[in-house]
Chains A and B, each alone.
Chain A
Amino acid sequence: MNGRLIAPGQARAPALVLEEPLSLWGGLDPATGRVIELRHPQHGATVSGRVLVLPAARGSSSSASVLAEAVRAGTAPAAIVLGEPDLILALGAAVADELYGVQIPILVLPADDLAAIRDGATVDIGSEGVSAV
């Protein structure tokens, strides 16, 4: 697969595939790393240490802070894979890198490649590219 990294870094972790877009603000509790949006199909799932795969981010512009706080609290996903670029999450990752020296790579994949990633598959985002097994 070939994608575009909008936040740099490397990660190898099991995928958590979200069926619908998520706003991290109002949708993710940075204290626990859980999806708290009640209407979301993956409500209650824990994103910590997973490669979070979702079609798109959406909603509030406060999601950048939530991502940075999740990094500080140690509950952040290992990486994020999106179907479309999201500036807000990219900035959250950039600030987390500046403040805490932790990189959360954010990868944008074409829809077909994104859909091919199954929940629980090991996703490897490395210098050589991306693979999902």
Chain B
Amino acid sequence: MRLVVRAADVLQAERLIPIRAAHVDSCLYHGQATLDFVDRMVDGGAAVRVPTTLNVGAVDLLHPELWRGDPDLAERGRLLMERYRALGCRPTYTCAPYQLAESRPGPGDQVAWGESNAIVFANSVLGARTNRYGDFLDIAAAVVGLVPDAGLHRTEERRAQLVIRLGEDVPPALMDDDGLYPVLGIVVGRVAGGRVAALDGLPPGVSEDRLKALGAAAASSGAVALLHVIGSTPEAPTLAAALQDADPDEERTVDMATLRAVRAELGGDGEGRIVAVSLGTPHASAAELTRIAELLDGERVADEVELLISTARDTLAQVEASAVAERLRLAGAELLVDTCSYIAPILRAPHGPVMTDSGKWAYYAPGNIGAQVVLGSLAECVASAVAGHVVRDATWGTA
């Protein structure tokens, strides 16, 4: 309760409001301090008061043999993940709880979510209301069932302050390619910082998986917690709705030159040999796993390439029931759950070059695991995994 009250003080909130659910990011091991904290909670007899899902932890509890690092560190990571179950949290261990039917909040639901990509998805795509809950506060809010009435919990704070427009030189074919969304997300994050932004110029009805890639990238390069995508997200049927009929504080245009420069910075011009392909950051949806199986189309991953796909254990169970998981394994893919390949020592050759379809992975993996990253669309990644070297399609052109 002290932590929740401290948060209310920081946010200058006048009251606390009840939440319906929480998503807790605190179960990822970041050193002894994270264990010391949960021990203090468990020893004090704390338990969650609302349905609470858990974010990724340090280890794949279902496939512990995939861990290639210090066994002592794995044990500490595992212990932390288990300790959060003792508080009554559900062992979902996913960064994409919004892909689990039973833990998707609805429009207007007040929740306390951690994990930057989940936060931006909950607010933007689901229309639920959460601030950026950090480690410790997420579990504190779940235990007391209350959050400060501030920020994105309040309707007026959800107004887009900034309008970001796609330039007229961005071709429709690119908007219909998965490869645009992580790059655009990194640009949006840099422009928006911590502001609520409205993104205008995409065709209506952008798919959830593309919105996931866009938001995850935006929440990596900026403190983005809510991104209205005009024509695609529930509070933005029109630009005027996203602006709550007010004028924006600022308007910016993103042109092809900017997109190309950022794409190059993320390794989007990378060519040649690769040693691994990492997909599923944020965790792959059942639809994405099915698409990867279709793109592989019975071909096998090249011998010298490791194809690693991260997903949620519940999603894996879902695709085990269909033939998708088996098709992926027969093609040589490794399926990782409960964690992610850029926070845990999983990859055989983490320094790469590693190809990914994720802006978030491309953004963090160089610092976290020392990876040299090549960014591509999902289709390019799968084709490259089979070929053993980078395969590009013509979507971005050669200019």
Contact = CB atoms under 8 A, between A and B. Distances in A.
B3 A91 contact: yes
Nearest to A35: B367
A55 to B, nearest CB: 9
Contact of A87 (B33, B137, B221): B137
A87 B30 CA distance: 18
Interface in A16-35: 21, 23, 25-27, 30-31
Contacts of A39: 265, 366
B379 to A, nearest CB: 27
B33 A96 contact: yes
Interface string A41-80: 0000000000000001111111111101101110000000
B7, B10, B132, B194 pick with most chain A CB within 10 angstroms: B10
A95 B9 CA distance: 15
Interface string B196-225: 000000000000000000000001111100
Given A91-B3, A98-B2, A99-B33, A65 B367 contact: no
Contacts of B115: 60-61
Contact of A73 (B26, B31, B34, B367): B31
Nearest to B5: A94
A60 B2 CA distance: 23
A105 interface: no
Contact of B7 (A25, A36, A37, A91): A91
A62 B219 contact: no
A13 interface: no
A99 B37 contact: yes
Contacts of B138: 61
B7, B131, B136 pick with most chain A CB within 10 angstroms: B136
B7, B36, B223, B265 pick with most chain A CB within 10 angstroms: B223
B364 interface: yes
Nearest to B11: A87
B222 A58 contact: yes
B134 A91 contact: yes
A60 B10 contact: no
Contacts of B134: 61-64, 87-88, 91-92
B135 A65 contact: yes
Interface string B1-41: 01100110111000000000000011010111110110010
B1 to A, nearest CB: 12
Interface in B363-399: 364, 366-368
A90 B7 contact: yes
Contact of A61 (B34, B119, B189): B119
Interface string B170-195: 00000000000000000001000110
A116 interface: no
A85 interface: yes
Nearest to A96: B33
B84 to A, nearest CB: 13
A39 B364 CA distance: 10
A116 to B, nearest CB: 21
B121 interface: no
B133 interface: yes
B3 A72 contact: no
Contacts of A133: none
Contacts of B25: 61-62
B340 to A, nearest CB: 12
Contacts of B223: 21, 56-59, 86
B79 to A, nearest CB: 15
Interface in B118-140: 119, 131-138
Contacts of B367: 26-27, 36-38
Contacts of B220: 23, 59-60
Interface of A: 6, 21, 23, 25-27, 30-31, 36-39, 56-66, 68-69, 71-73, 84-88, 90-92, 94-96, 98-100
12 contacts: A6-B9, A26-B367, A56-B223, A59-B222, A61-B134, A63-B135, A65-B30, A65-B135, A66-B31, A87-B137, A88-B132, A95-B37
